[in-house]
Structure 1
Amino acid sequence: MRAGQKGHYKNCCFMGHRDAPDGLYPLLRKEVERHILQYGVNRFFVGTYGNFDRMAASVLGEIKARYPHIRFYQMLAYPPEQEWMELPPGCERAVYPKKLARIPEKAAIPVLNRMVVDASDYAIAYVYRVSNGAYQTWKYARLREQRGLLCINNLAEF
């Protein structure tokens, strides 16, 4: 379905440094709520690594009670039997894209990150330094944003 048609999902992903400070939580919560109310986002994709992902999952679990129409999925870079599988409260399910089974384990996270960015209309980021996977994902997402395919809100800029 195309954007604007009945039944269309508006997707949002997250990208951020694994050492994101806990004090970011209120700003992250406000931004997620803004995406729901202002942009009509109704589906979220969350990773499983680091504090930013943990906070995003926690925010979504908390907000889901207020906005029961939203869905969020925990995205897995490795087969479920290799991952710790307790889902965050409110999470629909864990998703392991079958395409990743053919990817070397070392490349699984970057490939998953690109897949999620490609499937998203919006991204909420916390990227403030030029290093690690969060920055590489943000850099890739910026290319999509420059082509009008994605809108990124980087909380590190606030």
Structure 2
Amino acid sequence: MKERTCCFTGHREIPEESLMKIKQRLEEQVVRLIQQGVIYYGAGGALGFDTLAAQTILALKNAYPQVKLILVLPCQNQSERWNRADRAIYEGILVQADKVVYISEHYYKGCMHKRNRHLVDCSDYCICYLNRLSGGTYYTVHYAREKGLKIINCAEQLG
């Protein structure tokens, strides 16, 4: 199953001027992987790129009903401090996901790190939005490279 699985990781902040290109690149890359037999897509449920990736998978399910969205969430109360609009989007994604995995019932220091490692450990591909060499996304992509995943960085294709 790992060879048919792709995870997502990316920054929470996406520049408005890049958003449409990133959406387009993301969809193109996912469709390409689906055509190669990759049908399981794991997202971490965070704001920004994770949300965009989950929305992309859900939108593609109409054309590709075999595709499955798996949310791997750090804790059950992840969205409790988010604003109302972001929580509404999150809840909409949550109810449409094919599977939801919680790393922990409650937040603890390190649960997001553990979520990211779980996503990578269960995947053969990683589609990311990485444009800086620090932070959680950088760490996760570095870990994915160490584990031999095929990395597709939507930020590198913005030129």
TM-score range, shorter chain: 0.7 to 0.9
Q: Which runs of 5+ in 1 are unaligned?
A: none
Is the aligned partner of 1:75 residue 2:78? no
Q: Counterparts in 2 of 1:21-100, with a 5 A limit?
A: 21=15, 22-23=19-20, 24-37=22-35, 39-78=36-75, 80=76, 82-84=77-79, 86-88=91-93, 90-97=96-103, 100=104
Structure 1 residues 86 and 128, CA gap change in structure 2 (3 angstroms): same
Is the aligned partner of 1:119 residue 2:151? no
Kept in 2, the 8 Å contact 1:74–1:87? The answer is no
What secondary structure, in the 3-state scheme, does the structure 2 residue paired with 1:152 have?
A: strand
Amino acid at match of 1:151: K
Structure 2 partner of 1:154? 153
Query: Runs of 4 or more off by more than 6 Å in structure 1?
Result: none
What secondary structure, in the 3-state scheme, does the structure 2 residue paired with 1:58 have?
A: helix
Equivalent of residue 12 in structure 1, options 6, 11, 14 = 6
| TM-score relative to the length of structure 1 | 0.81
Deviation, 1:75, is 1.3
Deviation, 1:91, is 1.7
How large is the RMSD of aligned CA atoms in angstroms? 2.1
Kept in 1, the 8 Å contact 2:116–2:140? The answer is yes
State the Cα deviation string for residues 18-42 of structure 1 (Å, max 9, x = none): 11242211111111111101x3101
Higher relative contact order (CA 8 A, sep 6+): 2
Deviation, 1:106, is 1.2
The 2-side partners of 1:141 and 1:20 are apart by 21
Count of aligned residue pairs for this structure pair: 142
Kept in 2, the 8 Å contact 1:72–1:92? The answer is yes
Q: Which runs of 5+ in 2 are unaligned?
A: 80-89
Identity of counterpart residues, as a percentage?
A: 34
The 1-side partners of 2:96 and 2:43 are apart by 12
